[in-house]
């Protein structure tokens, strides 16, 4: 049975309503097995011309996944690049679970600033990951 986990910072900062909304979104997703993926929860452009994408990072493996680096791309419905950036992370994602996370893109990373965020697609390419023993 897949579960939703929260990073300690998120656990303390999110309201009960925000946690419930994320849980509902999580429960609406089709389960995955034997792979990692990311699902866009919401996105927006920032006032400083950057962007932020809140995603569910989903670990369909049975093992704990330690994520250290990722290249994250946002594309539009025609697969044109909206934003891309490499992120240094320190996240642990339990086996068969999901974790909400926000990627904040700098202004320099944004290539198209006029795409409706409802049409964004997210691609998270793990550059450095460590699968540890089965939990």
Band (127; pLDDT cuts 50, 70, 90) = confident
Q: Where are the alpha helices (DSSP H) in the chain?
A: 8-13, 16-27
d(CA 58, CA 93): 8
- CATH number of the domain that 30 lies in? 2.60.40
Contact 70, 126 (CB under 8 A): yes
Predicted local distance difference test score (pLDDT) of residue 129:
58
Would you say residue 1 has pLDDT above 70? no
Bridging pattern class, strands 81-93 and 51-59: unpaired
Predicted local distance difference test score (pLDDT) of residue 36:
94
Give residue-wise pLDDT tens across range 61-97: 999 999 999 999 999 999 999 999 999 999 999 999 9
Contact 112, 73 (CB under 8 A): no
Which range of residues forms the domain containing residue 94?
3-134
Separation of CA 97 from chain center: 13
- Beta strand extents in 16-134 (DSSP E only): 36-45, 51-59, 63-75, 81-93, 97-105, 121-134
For 60, the 3-state DSSP assignment is coil
The burial class, CB within 10 Å (0-12 / 13-18 / 19+), for 41 is middle
Q: Where are the alpha helices (DSSP H) in 8-114?
A: 8-13, 16-27
Give residue-wise pLDDT tens across range 5-50: 999 989 999 999 999 999 999 999 999 999 999 999 999 999 999 9
Predicted local distance difference test score (pLDDT) of residue 12:
92
Name the domain count of the chain.
1
């Amino acid at each position: 049975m897949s579960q939703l986990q929260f990073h300690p910072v998120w656990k303390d900062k999110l309201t009960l309503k925000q946690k419930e909304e994320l849980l509902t979104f999580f429960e609406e997703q089709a389960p995955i097995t034997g792979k990692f993926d990311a699902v866009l929860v919401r996105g927006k452009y920032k006032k400083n011309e950057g962007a932020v994408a809140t995603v569910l990072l989903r670990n369909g493996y049975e093992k704990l996944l330690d994520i250290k680096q990722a290249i994250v791309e946002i594309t539009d419905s025609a697969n044109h690049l909206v934003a891309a950036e490499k992120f240094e992370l320190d996240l642990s994602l339990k086996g068969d679970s999901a974790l909400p996370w926000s990627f904040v893109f700098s202004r320099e990373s944004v290539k198209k600033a006029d795409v409706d965020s409802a049409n964004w697609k997210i691609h998270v390419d793990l550059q450095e990951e460590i699968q540890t023993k089965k939990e």
